């Protein structure tokens, strides 16, 4: 029997995922907005045979008048622009970008991803998210439209519309026959004529299907509505858990929901986030971890924690517990991440300082500090015991932390037969072991 192999995503965030990455000796200001540096990291990821590069996005602006502005500022490129640049510098690796369904329109997003997918020869993926009311000041959307129920209701219909648009122009719609004077085959173009609760869209799209059919649908979110949306629409799920037991429960829960939508176990790949700090010895790994923790400015730690739980902690004693108001349901953040972090605070009786140190790297994702063998022991246990189909890797720093994972951990995964040594295909669907996407006419009832 062939051993299950891991799918790996490289979650790019520069200068690194740790809140103190910018203070690390291996990071430089000149790397922060430098496309040459980013291309270099993308080429490293492809050489290491990662399934995909993953880019987050944020549409909430930090307040420059707030004292935490400096600590909370993180430059984020608009994903399509950066992924388009990376696509021209790579050949095989997938390109997954985050776009919110709350503050965008389906036709535009469908067209952008279809363009990226076709130009990259079938390597694009869309990470579907919803956005909270914190982003409302940047958009002309009434707060009444941003309840969690409405956001997810809109997201479900949104994904359906985008999928129909993606397949509205078939791959071979362009004939280009000069002898018969036929440019296109009109039978290969389909108006979608969608009439729904949130959208009325005619179509078709202006970009034909790619070699993989259409972009892979990725979903990030672990709340109840998020799980249901993922079970119905997602092909890969990026999630965050603090323990093997919680990850395993989530894995089995989501996989157990697939059958009612006519989907099989292998139709969805579940990829928990992993924040690894790698050392050639256990002591070296611990020293690297402690050096990063010691470099965290208090303001930065509090700002990151505040952002993650949707509650401003800047006026509270950093060596005191989370205030009771946090647990009174006054958070404006995403519920699943809020619950994950506050549960850790409760269970371990952590102060604000202890808690921001605890989540300073992985932002709630599982942190592993150790040797390559110790790290792969954990990954293998999760992979072979129904807790993961692979992992999204959150390197603490670029380039050093990312290089450590590539040079030390991936060879150990390959030695155990848990990760590929060469790509077996050219599209993101082939990397994930997913079939080519077919035309869809599904509508949310």
Q: Write the pLDDT tens digit of every residue in 301-326.
A: 888 788 788 888 888 998 988 888 88
**Residues 66-77: what's their mean pLDDT?**
66
pLDDT at 141 over 70: yes
pLDDT at 180 over 60: yes
Tell me, what's the pLDDT at 146?
Answer: 77
Whether the upstream peptide bond of residue 15 has omega within 30° of 0, thus cis, is: yes
Q: In the structure encoding, which two tokens stand for residue 210, read together? A: 């790619």
d(CA 340, CA 418): 29
Instruction: Say how far residue 46 (Cα) sits from the centre of its chain.
Output: 18
Backbone angles phi, psi at 24, to 5 degrees: -75, 150
Determine which of 16-25, 333-342, 391-400, 435-444 has the lowest per-residue pLDDT on average: 435-444
Q: What is the pTM of this model?
A: 0.89
Q: In the structure encoding, which two tokens stand for residue 233, read together? A: 């629409």
**Counting runs of H as helices and runs of E as strands, what totals does the chain give?**
16, 13
The sign one gets for the Cα dihedral 429, 103, 129, 63 is positive
* pLDDT, tens digit, 9 for 90 and up, residues 249-260: 999 999 999 999
Could you tell me the pLDDT band of residue 69, with boundaries at 50, 70 and 90?
low
Tell me, what's the pLDDT at 189?
Answer: 96
Tell me, what's the pLDDT at 404?
Answer: 98
Could you tell me the pLDDT band of residue 2, with boundaries at 50, 70 and 90?
low
Tell me, what's the pLDDT at 309?
Answer: 85
Q: Map out the domains of the chain as residue ranges.
A: 7-282+361-432, 297-359
∠ Cα 155 120 32 (to 5°): 80
Higher pLDDT, 31 or 406: 406
Tell me, what's the pLDDT at 358?
Answer: 79
194: left (phi over 0), alpha (psi -120 to 50) or beta: beta
Answer whether CATH 3.40.640.10 is correct for domain 7-282+361-432: no
pLDDT at 73 over 70: no
3-state secondary structure string, 220-267?
Answer: ECCCHHHHHHHHHHCCEEEECCCCHHHHHHHHHHHHHHCHHHCCCHHH
> Shortest CA distance to 365 belongs to which of 388, 398, 399, 347?
388
DSSP one-letter code for 61 = P
Cβ–Cβ under 8 Å, residues 26 and 400: yes
State the helix-helix crossing angle for 35-47 and 79-89, rounded to 10 degrees: 60
Cβ–Cβ under 8 Å, residues 162 and 110: yes
Could you tell me the pLDDT band of residue 66, with boundaries at 50, 70 and 90?
low
Length reported for the chain? 445
Could you tell me the pLDDT band of residue 1, with boundaries at 50, 70 and 90?
very low
Share above pLDDT 90 across residues of the chain, in percent, rounded to a whole number:
67
């Amino acid at each position: 029997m062939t051993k299950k192999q891991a799918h790996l995503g490289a979650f790019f965030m520069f200068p690194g995922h740790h809140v103190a990455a910018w203070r690390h000796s291996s990071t430089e200001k000149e790397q922060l907005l430098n496309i040459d540096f980013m291309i270099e990291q993308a080429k490293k990821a492809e050489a290491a045979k990662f399934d995909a590069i993953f880019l987050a996005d944020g549409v909430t602006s930090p307040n420059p008048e707030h004292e935490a502005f400096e600590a909370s500022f993180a430059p984020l490129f608009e994903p399509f622009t950066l992924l388009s640049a990376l696509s021209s510098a790579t050949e095989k690796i997938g390109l997954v970008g985050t776009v919110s369904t709350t503050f965008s329109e389906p036709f535009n997003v469908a067209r952008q991803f279809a363009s990226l997918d076709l130009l990259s020869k079938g390597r694009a993926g869309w990470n579907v998210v919803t956005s909270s009311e914190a982003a409302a000041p940047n958009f002309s959307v009434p707060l009444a439209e941003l309840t969690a129920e409405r956001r997810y209701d809109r997201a479900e219909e949104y994904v359906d519309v985008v999928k129909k648009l993606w397949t509205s122009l078939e791959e071979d719609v362009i004939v280009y026959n000069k002898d018969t004077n036929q440019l296109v085959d009109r039978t290969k173009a389909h108006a979608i004529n969608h009439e729904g609760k949130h959208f009325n869209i005619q179509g078709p799209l202006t970009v034909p299907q790619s070699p993989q059919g259409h972009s892979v649908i990725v979903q990030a979110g672990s709340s109840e509505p998020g799980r249901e949306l993922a079970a119905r629409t997602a092909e890969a799920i990026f999630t965050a858990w603090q323990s093997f037991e919680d990850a395993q429960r989530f894995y089995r829960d989501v996989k157990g929901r697939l059958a009612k939508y006519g989907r099989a176990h292998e139709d969805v790949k579940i990829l928990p986030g992993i924040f690894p700090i790698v050392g050639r010895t256990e002591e070296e790994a611990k020293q690297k971890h402690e050096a990063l923790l010691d470099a965290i400015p208090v303001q930065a730690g509090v700002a990151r924690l505040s952002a993650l739980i949707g509650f401003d902690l800047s006026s509270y004693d950093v060596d005191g517990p989370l205030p009771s108001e946090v647990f009174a349901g006054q958070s404006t953040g995403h519920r699943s991440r809020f619950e994950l972090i506050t549960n850790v605070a409760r269970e371990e009786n952590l102060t604000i300082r202890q808690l921001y140190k605890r989540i300073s790297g992985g932002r709630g994702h599982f942190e592993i500090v150790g040797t390559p063998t110790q790290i792969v022991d954990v990954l293998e246990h999760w992979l072979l015991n129904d807790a993961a189909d692979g992992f999204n890797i959150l390197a603490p720093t670029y380039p050093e932390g990312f290089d450590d994972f590539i040079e030390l951990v991936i060879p150990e995964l390959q030695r155990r037969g848990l990760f590929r040594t060469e790509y077996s295909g050219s599209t993101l669907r082939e990397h994930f072991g997913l079939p080519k996407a077919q035309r869809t006419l599904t509508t949310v009832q």
